[in-house]
Every structure is written in C-alpha cells, then in structure tokens.
C-alpha cells in the first residue's frame, strides 16, 4: 500500500489539483490540514482525500508527523485485516515492508506526481529504505546513494555519463523528465540558501546529499517507523536527515522537478526562514 | 539616603512574603532558604554598599556596582534561557494535544 501524506495550510487554490494528480500513483492520499482558514478542507474532501485536521496551526513538521502516525496506523490495520482474509500473495516473507510506502508531498503544486514511480522503485526493489527527491541532482552527478554514516565517493560523473546513468535507471521517460527540468529556474538567493543548508547538513549529519530541503520523499514502512519528527516547523527537514543518519537507514537521491510558480515562491522559504530553522534546531537540542 | 531606607523596607516586605509562601507550602524548604539568603544578601548590600566593593576587588572587578550589573546580566541570560526551553516544551505539548485530537476524530475509511 502506498500512502501520500500532504501537509496543507491555506492551500485552497492548489489542493484539489494536487490530490487528483496524486491519486493515480498512490492507494490513498492523506491531507493533514494544519489549521487552514480557507476552503482547503472542503476541497480536499471533495477531491477524495482522507483529511485529518489540526485545530490550530502547528507547522509543517507537526503536520507531517501526524500524517506519519496516521499512515502507520493504516498499514497496521491493513496487515491485521490481511491476516484474517488469508491470501497467499500476501504471505511472502517481507512483502509488507517493501510494499508499504509513505510518500511526502507538498500541497502547493510544486512537485510532479508523475515522478512518484521513480521514487518508489528503489524501495520496491529493496535497494534502500528512504528515497529523497533532489532538484540539484543532475547538475552534480548521477543519483547518489549511500548508507548513513558511510561517505560517498566518485561524485563527479560527466554530464553525458550521468545522462547515460539516468537512461539506464529510468529509461526514456526518466530522461525526458530530467532534461525537462534541472536547469530548474531556481532564484539565485534561494539557490545560495539551499547550498548553505547542504554544507550545514554535511557537517552535522555526515550525509552527503544534494538537496536538504526537498519535501518530496518516500519512506519504507520500516524507515517511517524510525523517523519520528519532533520539529514542528521547517526544521523538520534537517531532523529527518538526522534521523536517517542516526538509524543507519539506506537512502538514495533521485532527481525531481520543482516548479517555481509565483504562488509557490510566495509560500517558499526565505532568508529569515533559514535563520528560524537554525534557531529551532538549536533549541531542539536543548530540550 | 532615602533610597537606602526605601530599599530596606522593600526587602523586608519581600522577605515577609517569602516566609508566608513557605508557611502555606507553595515554596519548599530549599527554595525558601535560597530566596531568604538571596534577599538577606540584597539587604546587606543595601545597608553596606561598600561590601560589594570588597568582593569586587577580590574578583578583579573595579567597582561594587559593576559586580552587581555583571551578576544581574548573567542571571537574566540564564533566566531567558530557562524560559525559552520551558516555552518550547509547552509548544511541543500543545502539538501533541492538537495531534491527538486530529487522530481521534479521524474519519479515515479502510
């Protein structure tokens, strides 16, 4: 079972479309309404998502954690009912863990749901526990994979090499997808901030990844059980990476497209947000 | 020297409150002793400001008044730190409650 969890705060403009685009690729969409004051809830329900409601705004990290708990509950309920109605197919060893996957997805329409199969594939194939979307990947190298705590080497593939690697991994469609984006029209200031976050993450967790604040991720059920989020606000992205490092989960980055629209830019992170993240991380350590 | 008597009066008043709160058990004995000593020391300084000068000199700080300012700053920073932590904890507790409500009232169909 694949469940998409979508934290949403005042996203009435985009939520319906995001849900409709997700539905063909996942079994269930759970929207966590984080205290929206607009029609987000009504539209999400109308679009066919399951909606959990935070009565007051607690932040994206808090919403993701609520979604994670709900998804794990669903997995548990599903495997319970699976055992009462015996089906041979479901009795294969380990089948539960490799097919139960949680996707995190933003509600502002920045991500492309068609890229979900590329995020699911490595987990389904048993290659890793966590797949992280990266908007910078192609510019640096072919998809990075690693095991937390172990460094990576050989990052500098040439463009044509990495293109071939993409080809091998995702076939024709994957290549189209890669060439369509990656010059990703990322505004310069944002690019600088994202790069600093990258260095920060490398220093604090030892994870050598190319995009630290990308909300497009996939977790195996086993991984999701270990990645418990306590950072309510934006610092959860760094916290998730920390948990991956601490638990020694196998992860892999996969290139994804981010569409910077005026709408999503207005919602995205600015310099002040990065300072807030650092502050939250500091206080998180003090608790 | 009006300020001196005013301060002493104020400190006596505070000490009486401290004793009262200890008697009604809203302060435990350890807290009571701490606050009693603190305000007695403050009273001593109000009566004999020169004493702070002696301590300050031993610590290598020029004047007694400077010593008090430094100590106050340290105390204030520490207090701010404690308050921040307390506030973050409270925020987490609020999130837990909000989450509990959202999950309890979930209408998810299987």
pLDDT at res. A196:
84
Q: Please indicate if any CB of chain B lies within 8 Å of the CB of A32.
A: yes
pTM: 0.75
Q: Please indicate if any CB of chain B lies within 8 Å of the CB of A63.
A: no
- Is B110's CB within 8 Å of A74's CB? yes
Higher pLDDT, B34 or A192: B34
pLDDT at A92 over 50: no
User: What stretches of chain A adopt beta strand conformation (E)?
Assistant: 2-8, 28-34, 50-54, 101-104, 130-134, 145-147, 217-220, 250-255
**CB nearest A287 (choices: B88, B99, B101):** B88
Contact A148, A249 (CB under 8 A): yes
Instruction: Report the residue of A35, A49, A58, A64 to disrupt the B interface, i.e. the one with the largest count of B CBs within 10 Å.
Output: A58
- Tokens 């500091």 sit on residue: A282
pLDDT tens, position by position, B3-13: 888 999 999 99
pLDDT tens, position by position, B12-26: 999 999 999 999 988
Handedness of CA A167, A168, A172, A174 (dihedral sign): negative
Contact A128, A122 (CB under 8 A): yes
Segment A61-80 shows an average pLDDT of 93
Provide the token pair at A174: 């994957």
Q: Please indicate if any CB of chain B lies within 8 Å of the CB of A54.
A: yes
pLDDT band, residue B48 (cuts 50/70/90)? confident
SS3 A147: strand
pLDDT at res. A231:
94
User: What stretches of B1-110 adopt beta strand conformation (E)?
Assistant: none
Segment A250-255 shows an average pLDDT of 95
Contacts of B103 in chain A (CB under 8 A): 52, 66, 69-70, 73
Contacts of A8 in chain B (CB under 8 A): none
pLDDT tens, position by position, A117-176: 999 999 999 999 999 999 888 754 444 556 554 433 333 333 444 444 444 343 333 333
Tell me the count of A-B CB pairs closer than 8 A. 59
CA dist A11 and A49 (Å) reads 14
Buried b (16+ CB within 10 A) or exposed e, A160-169: eebbeebeeb
**CB nearest A287 (choices: B85, B101, B109):** B85
pLDDT at res. A135:
86
CA dist A261 and A106 (Å) reads 13
Number of other residues whose CB lies within 10 A of the CB of residue A231: 24
CA dist A31 and A39 (Å) reads 13
The CA-atom distances, in angstroms, between A96 and each of A90, A142, A154, A170, A221 are: 8, 30, 34, 25, 8
User: What does the DSSP 8-state code read for residue A113?
Assistant: G
pLDDT at res. A45:
95
pLDDT at B109 over 70: no
Contact A107, A99 (CB under 8 A): no
């Amino acid at each position: 079972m694949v469940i998409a969890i979508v934290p949403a705060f005042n996203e009435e403009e985009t939520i319906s479309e995001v849900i409709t685009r997700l539905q063909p690729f996942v079994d269930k969409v759970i929207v966590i309404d984080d205290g929206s004051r607009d029609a987000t809830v009504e539209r999400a329900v109308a679009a066919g998502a399951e909606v959990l409601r935070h009565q007051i705004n607690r932040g994206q990290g808090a919403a993701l954690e609520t979604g994670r708990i709900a998804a794990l509950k669903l997995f548990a309920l599903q495997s319970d009912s699976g055992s009462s109605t015996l089906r041979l197919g479901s009795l294969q060893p380990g089948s539960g863990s490799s097919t139960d996957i949680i996707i995190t997805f933003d509600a502002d329409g920045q991500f492309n749901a068609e890229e979900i199969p590329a995020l699911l594939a490595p987990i389904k194939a048993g290659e890793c526990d966590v797949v992280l979307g990266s908007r910078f990947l192609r510019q640096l190298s072919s998809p990075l994979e690693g095991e937390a705590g172990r460094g990576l080497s050989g990052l500098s593939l040439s463009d044509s090499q990495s293109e071939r690697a993409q080809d091998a991994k995702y076939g024709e469609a994957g290549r189209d997808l890669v060439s369509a984006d990656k010059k990703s029209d990322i505004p310069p200031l944002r690019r600088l901030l994202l790069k600093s976050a990258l260095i920060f993450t490398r220093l604090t967790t030892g994870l050598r990844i190319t995009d630290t604040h990308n909300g497009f991720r996939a977790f195996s059920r086993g991984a999701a059980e270990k990645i418990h989020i306590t950072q309510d606000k934006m610092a959860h992205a760094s916290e998730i990476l920390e948990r991956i490092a601490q638990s020694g989960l196998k992860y892999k980055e996969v290139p994804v497209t981010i569409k910077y629209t005026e709408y999503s830019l207005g919602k995205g992170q600015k310099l002040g947000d990065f300072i807030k993240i650092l502050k939250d991380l500091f206080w998180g350590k003090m608790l | 020297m009006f300020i001196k008597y005013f301060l002493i009066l104020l400190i006596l008043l505070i000490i009486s409150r401290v004793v009262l709160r200890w008697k009604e058990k809203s302060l435990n004995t350890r807290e009571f002793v701490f606050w009693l000593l603190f305000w007695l020391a403050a009273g001593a300084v109000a009566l004999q400001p020169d004493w702070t000068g002696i301590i300050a000199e031993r610590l290598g700080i020029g004047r007694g008044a400077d010593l008090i300012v430094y100590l106050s700053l340290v105390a204030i920073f520490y207090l701010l730190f404690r308050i921040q932590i307390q506030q973050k904890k409270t925020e987490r507790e609020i999130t837990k409650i909000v989450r509990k409500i959202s999950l309890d009232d979930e209408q998810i169909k299987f």
